[in-house]
Amino acid sequence: MFRRWLQPLLNAQAVWADPLGDVFQRIFRTVYSPFPGLRDLLHGTWLGHPVHPMITDVPIGALIIATVLDLAGQPIAATWAIGVGLLGMLAAALAGYADYIDLEGAGKRVGSLHSTSMLVALVLYVVSIGARLGWWPLFAGGAEWTAGLGLLFVVVGGYLGGELVFDLGSQVDRHAWRGGGTKWQALDIDSVPEAKPTKAKAGAQTLVVVRRGEQIFALHDTCAHQGCSLSDGKLVDDGKRIECSCHGSRFELADGSVNRGPAVYPQPHYAVRRAEGKIEVKRTS
Ligand code: FES
């Protein structure tokens, strides 16, 4: 019910959110591009889990506590809580923008709205903490209502962040619902060209297969990051890894583990054997 009027409202923001998203993405691509290791750290590639949603609990919790403390007449404790909230917001923003630069279409739009809400909240909380610390004496009376308004933007931003994940699937493993394979299945091709990522079917699944000499490797073709086809990618690092053509994630051919983000989840890997002139595969992970 709520979504019936929310969706047109979100779509109507395209007129400003899409161009703003272009600018934000350009800025953050420029900032992050020279530091691929930092990007992987912020994505959560090292952890096998997105970092941004883990950090957001800190500012949301601290800023809710600040409002409770304001209502309870505890201004000093509220100031500390806002300080913690602001530090948490900055850390969450660093990780969030690393994920945001790869978004497209509706995901980019909702990501831009989410980020704008959080930036407005950040500014309001900076104004609020400044008023509490006496940075702008003429605005001393505005400390509490700016914090209250900031919390409203945090709630809206949090809702939009949830929309981005649960409705649009941002940062969701593209293989989350795919069960492990239990039996061998024949590929629909009988030969694989040397060192060339090749698309092949095994029953309903589409795989990318690579041959290096006598050895054949097989991974699921759908990139765990945002669903591009790995068979459009290229082999790197002496043919040990495959790189996705969309955002450059790299996966080990030997076991599907992530070597480089933005992907944080491994690629389903298949064991390969030859049987009666056919190539057969079975999912191992
Ligand atoms: S879809 Fe983004 S790296 Fe593959």
**What phi and psi values does residue 262 have, to the nearest 5 degrees?**
-75, -10
Cα torsion for 230, 235, 236, 238, to the nearest 10°? 150
Question: pLDDT value at position 190?
Answer: 87
Pocket test for ligand 1, best of 29, 241, 246, 264 (most atoms within 8 A of CB): 246
Question: pLDDT value at position 178?
Answer: 79
Q: How far apart are CA 116 and CA 270, in angstroms?
A: 42
Question: pLDDT value at position 182?
Answer: 76
Report the atom number in ligand 1 closest to the C-alpha of 223: 4
pLDDT band, residue 11 (cuts 50/70/90): confident
Please state the rounded mean pLDDT for residues 156-178.
Answer: 91
pLDDT band, residue 2 (cuts 50/70/90): confident
More confident residue, 1 or 187: 187
Tell me which CATH homologous superfamily contains domain 185-283: Rieske [2Fe-2S] iron-sulphur domain (2.102.10.10)
Question: pLDDT value at position 193?
Answer: 92
Q: Which residues contact 183 (CB under 8 A, 6 or more apart)?
A: 282
Report the atom number in ligand 1 closest to the C-alpha of 228: 1
**Average pLDDT taken over every residue of the chain:** 93
Residue 95 has pLDDT above 90, yes or no: yes
Question: pLDDT value at position 180?
Answer: 66
- Using the mean position of ligand 1's atoms as its centre, give its distance from the Cα of residue 96 in Å: 17
Question: pLDDT value at position 260?
Answer: 94
Residue 47 has pLDDT above 90, yes or no: yes
DSSP string, 79-115: HHHHHHHHHHHHHHHHHHHHHHTT--HHHHHHHHHHH
Q: What percentage of the chain reaches a pLDDT higher than 70?
A: 99
Please state the rounded mean pLDDT for residues 38-58.
Answer: 95
Alpha-carbon dihedral sign for residues 172, 96, 252, 212: positive
pLDDT band, residue 194 (cuts 50/70/90): very high
Residue 19 has pLDDT above 90, yes or no: yes
Question: pLDDT value at position 63?
Answer: 97
Residue 149 has pLDDT above 70, yes or no: yes
Question: pLDDT value at position 253?
Answer: 97
Half-sphere exposure of 111 (CA within 13 A, CB side): 29
- Using the mean position of ligand 1's atoms as its centre, give its distance from the Cα of residue 112 in Å: 20
For the chain, which residues make up each domain, given as ranges? 2-167, 185-283
Contact 254, 247 (CB under 8 A): no
> pLDDT per residue over 213-257, tens digit each?
989 999 999 999 999 999 999 999 999 999 999 999 999 999 999
77 Cβ closer than 6 Å to some ligand 1 atom: no
Residue 34 has pLDDT above 80, yes or no: yes
Q: How far apart are CA 125 and CA 273, in angstroms?
A: 60
